[in-house]
Structure 1
Amino acid sequence: MPVSSRTRAPLPLIAVAGFSALLAAIPLIYLGVRIADAGIDGVLAVFARPRLGLLLANTLLLAASVTVASTLLGIAGALVLSRVRLPFSRTLAVLAVLPLAVPSYLAAFGWLAAIPGASGFWPSWLVLTVVTTPYVLLPVAAALRGTSATLSEVARTLGYGPVRTFLAVGWPGIRSSAVAGALLVCLYVLADFGGVALFRFPVLTTAIHQAYGASFDRNYAAVLAAVLVTIALVIFLIDRRARPSREIPVSRSAARARVNWGGLAPLAMAIVAAPAVLAVGVPLASLIARLVNAQTVRELDLAGLVQASATTIALSAVGAVIAVLLALPIATIAARFAGRTSRILEAAGSLPLAIPGIVVGLGLVFFSLLAVPALYQSAAMLAFAYGVLFLPKAIGTIRSSIERVPRELEEVASSLGYAAFRQWWHVTARLARPGIVVATLFITVTAMKELPATLMLRPTGTNTLAMELWSKTDVAAYGAAVPYALALVLLAAVPAVMLSPRSERLSTGRER
């Protein structure tokens, strides 16, 4: 692939990236067809409904408050892990990423088991904040590992206080990573359904799900989904403007000086551990308390649990591979070429994260029945849905990894006669491999937890852990849901722990 951001991307690369973006746009095409069926009068009728204002206000309030809280907590946790000398630092690094293994509906289920009357905004805000904190902590911690602490020490010797030092020296180095993480958090909250549904907090996603479930007003649901996508597009454009015009150079020999907080060490440890305790510890404690119930153990379907676990692993892994394959051409263009084409393709590939899973599911049902009937209600279509849903996460991670590959090495390969694809495969992709692995693990964890699209697209007789968990909690069979909840957390925790800021395997790959 090419080496200069000032040259135009080759047409074959643009074609492949355009095909990936077109596949990602299938749910948007479905929305367009539905809105066209509704007509102008139908759209205006939706906007005239008084409840729309409440849904929109609740959605924006929840997304903004969770994004701010998660960003502050994630930056604080990353600074503690990277800059503070603490006991049990490796254990804390693992705890910091454990919330990735817990879907919002599982955390909400655990809290409801402990506090049955919890409902409304504040429980939803708490659960979504703690489960999304790693989205900010991980990229900021990675940025801090590549920057030197020496400048901060110089600023402190010049009389700068901690806050002024961070704003003048620390923030420029992590700004891009923090903004990217905040974008993921915001889009996650906009598209979340399970957590807010269990806490009975009305937002756009719950209204969309109810409208589709009722099956009598699909156009109303489509217009609400279009409103959600419009909000996501505005947020994405704001993110583009918030990105720094110039990347902070990475220091391979960065001094990783750590300060000793002395008596404040417990506070620093609490900052890192709090999301894990609230997202994983409290829900698991309430679930384990129910698991010791003898009746629950007697009712356990071990064969069904094993089958659901195997299905979850297989579908999530295949979905992650599909997402990475779709993301590679878009991420390459975004990282290596400037211009309108690059921006359009990246924006098109990033929108699915803000589309509710149920809309993605219905869009793919529409596509399969119209174009490929053989794929209707197949495992392949469900895995493809995972790939489309989580394509934006793959694009962001892989783009950042490719941007860090020195262009000079690509120029050397080109001077040696390597063709464009061979140059990309042997140089760019090989050096960006750690980022590609991280994207695959990240999407595998996320796909294991996906619920709405799974409800729509799962083949008859096929169940995942998320499906089993939701079906049992939906009828208040909390005891029977416990084994599936524990299995989901344990399975998702394995790749999540590999994403830990102190993961030796991934860190070694990045340094190489």
Structure 2
Amino acid sequence: MRSSPPAAPAAPVPRPAGAPAPAGYRRTGNRPPWPLMALAGVASVFALLPLGYLAVRALERGPGYAWELVATERTASLLGRSLGLTAVVVAACLVLGVSLAWLTVRTDLPGARFWSVLVTLPLAVPSYVAAFTWLSAAPGLAGFTGAALALTLVSFPYVYLPVTAALRATDPAQEEASRSLGLGPVRTFLRVTLPQLRPAAAGGGLLVALYVLSDFGAVSLMRYDTFTRAIHTSYRASFDRTPAAALSVVLVVMTVLLVAAEARTRGRAGHARTGTGTARPALPAALGRWRAPALAWCGVVTALAVVLPLGTLGYWLAAGSSATWDPARLAQTAWATLGVAAAGAALTTVLALPVGVIAARHRGRAARLLEQTAYAGHALPGITVALALVFLAVRYAHPLYQELPLLVAAYAVLFLPVAVAATRAAVLQAPPVLEDVARSLGRSPLRALREVTVPLAAPGVAAGAALTFVVCMKELPATLLLRPTGMDTLATRLWTETGAGAFAAAAPYAAALILLAAVPSYLLGRHRT
């Protein structure tokens, strides 16, 4: 039976002084507790370490020389190519992520739970593996088309996951009211549902943009020149690091502009509620005659993003079955990969927690600065972050040179935004009014956060940690330069064998990497269903 339209809302009642803040409220006058600010400051300084290296290298011959390196036709071309690739991939990921999230959450799509897990599995496929499989299947894709296709198919879950979470957290009463007033499913989605998904989609799109700008493996294999490939070439071609540092500074500026644009798109609205909203789940929209096209759409996306890479790897595994395999070395490499990725995810999550809390709960120049600086390292190519840490270790902390802590630190710098975005979204879902109640009962700000906010946000923070674990396992350039002597990961072994043209020998490492990364990706999909 169709529910009756909701009654007109009552006139707003002014909030008495000292009363708890409503749900979604973000404090504007209160400063964050100084211990929390101090912890967030440590995370920001940590993320800014590579920028200190860039400043030293880029300006060591003076600003004039650095400007001469940047203000060239080559730099303008790289800027256009990088931004063009980023825009295409972000737009495609928004279409894929939002459409698949709506189909699996808000419609009567057959097997929605099954599809929701499948579409998260591309997170387990590194961009360089996707590029390798597509080049094996269609060598003519090399260039812009191949790079855009490979990056889109491994990046769209960054949009799908937060949009799915937002759809499940959104009260469906507004959509039902829209339908009762005569609007169809499409107009309801465009006018009611989509505006509520804007913050989640914008956050996911920002992660995709940063991922594309910092990618090295896919664009290198596809032979498409972007800033990352040009920086890598510059580092390898000369002992003079100044040109590469100057190009890296351009990437940092692009990152800051992207983060600022995403913050404006996110808007000033809060997203928390004091309760769970309606006591029943949303009524799924009937697809009707669109059921078959919807199933075909899900099938095509999963076939391109999951089935084709796995099928190509299966072919190379079969082709190399007569070659000599070393199971002991494969197991040792897999164990090293799990250990270093777990350490990187743990450190990154610890650093991201205070930044995410401040970004979700407080406004002001300091809060915005802390959040934006956390994103600084993510757009830097891994090779730049690695060389910056090598520079700092050699000059100021020589015992850490070519040791595991330096590699773990690089992971934290590179992937801090992944954990910050997940923490911020999780804290936004925890009603601030509960913290105010805890404060009224005598709890200190930090104790209220520890006893109220953190437990409520724990599932979202854990999901962010799992996502960070996946991307740490797939990181290639930083691992190549910073891994301890004698230690290999699945990514470095895969790259070494692929660079030598031994595709059959590389296939076991690629398959192991995908299988290991698929476990947390599967759990993320289950968490969202």
TM-score by length of 2: 0.91
Alpha carbons of structure 1 residues 47 and 24: separation in structure 2 relative to 1, 3 Å: closer
Q: What's 1:510 paired with?
A: none
Deviations 1:425-481 (A, max 9, x none): 222211111111111101001111001111111111110001011111112110100
CA distance in 2, matches of 1:89, 1:10: 43
Alpha carbons of structure 1 residues 418 and 158: separation in structure 2 relative to 1, 3 Å: closer
CA distance in 2, matches of 1:288, 1:208: 34
Q: What's 2:324 paired with?
A: 299
CA RMSD, Structure 1 to Structure 2 (Å): 1.9
Range with bigger deviation, 395-404 or 263-272? 263-272
CA distance in 1, matches of 2:304, 2:85: 18
Q: Report the AA paired with residue 267 of structure 1.
A: P
How far residue 126 of structure 1 moved from its aligned partner, in angstroms, is 0.8
Q: Report the AA paired with residue 386 of structure 1.
A: Y
Matched, 1:326 2:351: yes
Deviations 1:34-66 (A, max 9, x none): 111132332233134432222111101000011
Q: What's 2:373 paired with?
A: 348
Deviations 1:114-168 (A, max 9, x none): 2234311111111111111101111111111112334334434444344432221
How far residue 8 of structure 1 moved from its aligned partner, in angstroms, is 1.1
| Secondary structure at the counterpart of residue 499 of structure 1 | helix
Q: What's 2:402 paired with?
A: 377
Alpha carbons of structure 1 residues 334 and 249: separation in structure 2 relative to 1, 3 Å: closer
CA contact (8 A) 2:142 2:222 kept: yes
Question: Which residue, 295, 306, 315 being the options, matches 1:280?
Answer: 306
Alpha carbons of structure 1 residues 207 and 155: separation in structure 2 relative to 1, 3 Å: same
CA distance in 1, matches of 2:296, 2:475: 29
CA contact (8 A) 2:475 2:491 kept: yes
Alpha carbons of structure 1 residues 272 and 156: separation in structure 2 relative to 1, 3 Å: same
Q: Report the AA paired with residue 89 of structure 1.
A: A
Question: Which residue, 126, 134, 143 being the options, matches 1:103?
Answer: 126
Matched, 1:256 2:282: yes
Q: Report the AA paired with residue 287 of structure 2.
A: W
Q: Report the AA paired with residue 418 of structure 2.
A: K
| Secondary structure at the counterpart of residue 489 of structure 1 | helix
Structure 1, unaligned stretches of length 5 or more?
A: 508-512
Q: What's 1:494 paired with?
A: 519
CA contact (8 A) 1:75 1:178 kept: yes
Alpha carbons of structure 1 residues 29 and 423: separation in structure 2 relative to 1, 3 Å: same
Q: What's 1:435 paired with?
A: 460
CA contact (8 A) 1:156 1:162 kept: yes
Q: What's 1:13 paired with?
A: 36
Structure 2, unaligned stretches of length 5 or more?
A: 1-20
How far residue 289 of structure 1 moved from its aligned partner, in angstroms, is 1.1
Question: Which residue, 141, 145, 148 being the options, matches 1:118?
Answer: 141
Question: Which residue, 468, 485, 488 being the options, matches 1:463?
Answer: 488
CA contact (8 A) 1:107 1:280 kept: no
CA distance in 2, matches of 1:356, 1:91: 35
Matched, 1:267 2:293: yes
Deviations 1:160-194 (A, max 9, x none): 34443222111121111011111111111111110
Identical aligned pairs, as a percentage? 43
CA contact (8 A) 1:76 1:271 kept: no
Q: What's 1:175 paired with?
A: 198
Deviations 1:15-40 (A, max 9, x none): 22111100110111110011111323
TM-score by length of 1: 0.94
CA distance in 2, matches of 1:248, 1:330: 18
Q: What's 2:253 paired with?
A: 230
Q: What's 1:23 paired with?
A: 46
Alpha carbons of structure 1 residues 296 and 480: separation in structure 2 relative to 1, 3 Å: farther
Q: Report the AA paired with residue 283 of structure 1.
A: P
Q: What's 2:209 paired with?
A: 186
Q: What's 1:315 paired with?
A: 340
Matched, 1:93 2:116: yes
CA distance in 2, matches of 1:333, 1:17: 8
CA contact (8 A) 2:248 2:380 kept: yes
CA contact (8 A) 1:451 1:466 kept: yes
Q: Report the AA paired with residue 46 of structure 1.
A: L
Q: Report the AA paired with residue 459 of structure 1.
A: P
Range with bigger deviation, 69-78 or 426-435? 426-435
CA distance in 2, matches of 1:315, 1:161: 51
Matched, 1:43 2:66: yes
CA distance in 2, matches of 1:393, 1:269: 30
Matched, 1:388 2:410: no
CA contact (8 A) 2:59 2:66 kept: no
Question: Which residue, 337, 358, 361 being the options, matches 2:362?
Answer: 337
Range with bigger deviation, 6-15 or 426-435? 6-15
CA distance in 1, matches of 2:357, 2:91: 30
CA contact (8 A) 1:172 1:248 kept: no
How far residue 297 of structure 1 moved from its aligned partner, in angstroms, is 4.5
Matched, 1:289 2:312: no
| Secondary structure at the counterpart of residue 368 of structure 1 | helix
| Secondary structure at the counterpart of residue 38 of structure 1 | coil
How far residue 12 of structure 1 moved from its aligned partner, in angstroms, is 2.3
CA contact (8 A) 1:291 1:297 kept: no
| Secondary structure at the counterpart of residue 139 of structure 2 | coil
CA distance in 1, matches of 2:437, 2:504: 62
CA distance in 1, matches of 2:370, 2:158: 23
Q: What's 2:150 paired with?
A: 127
How far residue 248 of structure 1 moved from its aligned partner, in angstroms, is 4.3
Range with bigger deviation, 212-221 or 233-242? 212-221
CA contact (8 A) 1:113 1:287 kept: no
Matched, 1:362 2:391: no
Deviations 1:204-238 (A, max 9, x none): 11000111122333111111111111111111111
Alpha carbons of structure 1 residues 408 and 156: separation in structure 2 relative to 1, 3 Å: closer
